[in-house]
Amino acid sequence: MKKNIILTLLLIVVQLHAQQVFPRQQREDHDHIMSEAYWKLWNPTVQAKIDADIEANRKANAVLSLDLPAGTNITIEQLTHDFVFGAHIFNFNQLGTHARNERYKEVFGSLFNSATIAFYWKKFETEPNRLRFAEEYWDTEDYWNNCPAPKLQPHWRRPSTDAVVEFCESKGIRMHGHTIIWGNRKWQNPDWIYTVAAKGQERKFLDRIMVERATLENYKDGDKYSSEYQQMSAQALSDSLPHYAESVKQLFAQRVTQLAKHYGGRLHSWDVVNESSVDIENMNPGGRLMKSVYGIMPADYTYEAFQVAQREFPNEVKLNINDYNMDQRYLEQVRNLCERNCKIDIMGAQMHLFNPKQCLDIADGAQIQTPSQVWEWSERLDKANKPIHLSEITITAPGDDLRGRQIQAIIAQNLYRLWFSIKPMMGITWWNVVDDCGAPGEPSVSGLFDRDMKPKASYFALDKLINNEWRTRLAVKVGKSGVVRFRGFRGKYKVSWTDAEGNQMSREFYLKNDGDGLNNK
């Protein structure tokens, strides 16, 4: 009986929570938005576990000894989060009007405390040694405001990096670079690598075995090769391309070095290698080339990239590995790299619900991104003993109407709560902030804002969590002992009071571990 009463009360709390997140006009027929099967997966017992884990994993106990008279009124206000709530900032100054661009920038520092900056090699270095650090006219707001077809421009979603870094620094935004090394031919590796690295007979050999290069037009991630190539061993391939092998290895190392030398410690973290676990069985330590799923790659490119990165970047810069695979292969890859003395500070994990039907299926109760599935993969990755950054997430609205937007918001609300509760999780990064601003092939309604930068229900859901439910604000009195104790979310705080002369006083401190606080004695 007692258990049933507790479950009933928890259900009431969950229902009230939903009513707070979604304004009344957005909750029309709320009970019918998600199916009974969905709410069985996200039931009161699950919600109670999430709440308990948030309390245990995201908060710490603070101790304030301010040497103030008993009864003094003080206010405690959390200024920043220790947890990373991020988004990519790929559309910096590209939204077509000054008003939209300003609203976009305002989201960084209010909802988001971290920005992922685009360093995709193909568009960052369109010609050898012509690096797009500095802003040129084609990067400016004026250019994009007068551009009739922005999505057709080769540098769409690829702003000059210096301008973005300077903006983030001006607002105190944490910065994450994405990505340095990635085997992907469509998005990452410049076409000129082939021209620069291959000479003479090696060039003729590559022309013979390569059937089709991966491009945006044919939408392949990797190059297509002839049957002759398919039958070759990695050793035979290396023997046929000795100069090419050495040149490509040097180009990859040079890319890491150039980024490290230009930015030093200004960016807080980098995806050193992206989506390489698919090659774990193809890696060829001690060799020169490997037959990657993407095409011909340096034999041990993930290991080599980390070796260069940890040598070139300051030690305080976090070096991440990033992947969409959350299976055993990824765990074993990270373990292997660490055993080989690679400095891997954070494991990146991705979650993309690109297909609108996936979100409709979730609303109907499908076994997609369920609590048990998320707990399963997070427990698996946690065995690497590394913090986890949910580095890219997409949640698509299955229809740009009231119901579609509410489905997106409810899925986002529940998943963010779940992710935030998981102990090794250190951050969550939303991918496409604005509708119709994704890469070709990505959904046009996966943003938190519409194309005119008007907030959608999903924005309000996340803002309610990040800036209200997960932000500590207290008004308390100093006790007889002169000490104030409280439990709050980890982050930076300001404590304010009025002294005996009527002066407004304040102190700041950082709460990360139990016992952190202020001590004036």
First to last CA, the chain: 51
205-209, 222-226, 481-485, range with the lowest pLDDT: 481-485
- Find the mean pLDDT for residues 359-368: 98
| CA separation for the pair 312, 290 (Å, rounded) | 25
pLDDT digits (tens, 9 = 90+) for 300-358: 999 999 999 999 999 999 999 999 999 999 999 999 999 999 999 999 999 999 999 99
| CA separation for the pair 307, 314 (Å, rounded) | 13
Structure tokens belonging to residue 78: 């959390």
C-alpha 386: how far from chain center: 16
The amino acid at 131: L
- Find the mean pLDDT for residues 269-277: 98
Give the up-direction half-sphere exposure of residue 187: CA atoms within 13 A in the CB hemisphere: 19
Query: pLDDT at position 215, please?
Result: 87
| CA separation for the pair 373, 365 (Å, rounded) | 14
| CA separation for the pair 294, 289 (Å, rounded) | 13
Pairing, β 318-323 against β 425-430: unpaired
In the block, tokens 């100069």 appear at 243
pLDDT digits (tens, 9 = 90+) for 413-455: 999 999 999 999 999 999 999 999 999 888 999 999 999 999 9
Structure tokens belonging to residue 486: 């409280």
CB-count exposure of residue 476 (10 Å: 0-12, 13-18, 19+): middle
- Find the mean pLDDT for residues 218-246: 96
Distances (CA, A) of 192 to 38, 45, 226, 255, 281: 49, 56, 21, 14, 28
| CA separation for the pair 499, 483 (Å, rounded) | 16
Which domains, ranges and CATH numbers included, belong to the chain? 48-83+470-521 (2.60.40.10), 89-468 (3.20.20.80)
Give the model's confidence band at 23: pLDDT under 50 very low, under 70 low, under 90 confident, else very high.
very low
Of 474, 455, 458, 476, residue with least CA distance to 466? 458
- Find the mean pLDDT for residues 241-262: 98
Torsions phi, psi for 427 (to 5 deg): -175, 160
Segment holding 267, helix H or strand E: none
CB-count exposure of residue 483 (10 Å: 0-12, 13-18, 19+): middle
Asked whether the beta carbons of 394 and 431 are under 8 A apart, the reply is: yes
The amino acid at 114: S
C-alpha 518: how far from chain center: 33
How many residues can be counted in the chain? 521
Of 282, 379, 385, 374, residue with least CA distance to 328? 379
In the block, tokens 């039907």 appear at 357
**Average pLDDT of the residues of the chain:** 94
Of 452, 334, 350, 433, residue with least CA distance to 382? 334
In the block, tokens 């260069």 appear at 308
Percent of the chain with pLDDT over 70: 94
Asked whether the beta carbons of 477 and 497 are under 8 A apart, the reply is: no
18-27, 192-201, 244-253, range with the lowest pLDDT: 18-27
Which residues, other chains included, contact 2 with Cβ-Cβ below 8 Å and sequence gap of 6+? none
Peptide bond into 72 cis (omega under 30): no
- Find the mean pLDDT for residues 203-219: 92
3-state secondary structure of 342: coil
Query: pLDDT at position 342, please?
Result: 98
Query: pLDDT at position 21, please?
Result: 45
Torsions phi, psi for 393 (to 5 deg): -130, 140
- Find the mean pLDDT for residues 172-185: 98
- Find the mean pLDDT for residues 488-506: 96
Which residues, other chains included, contact 148 with Cβ-Cβ below 8 Å and sequence gap of 6+? none
Query: pLDDT at position 445, please?
Result: 97
Is the C-alpha dihedral spanning 265, 175, 339, 261 positive or negative?
Answer: negative
Asked whether the beta carbons of 409 and 464 are under 8 A apart, the reply is: no
Query: pLDDT at position 31, please?
Result: 56
Segment holding 206, helix H or strand E: helix 200-209
Sheet holding 483-489, edge to edge: 483-489, 59-65, 517-519
pLDDT digits (tens, 9 = 90+) for 381-413: 999 999 999 999 999 999 999 999 999 999 999
Give the Cα-Cα-Cα angle 470, 178, 440 (nearest 5 degrees).
95
Query: pLDDT at position 10, please?
Result: 43
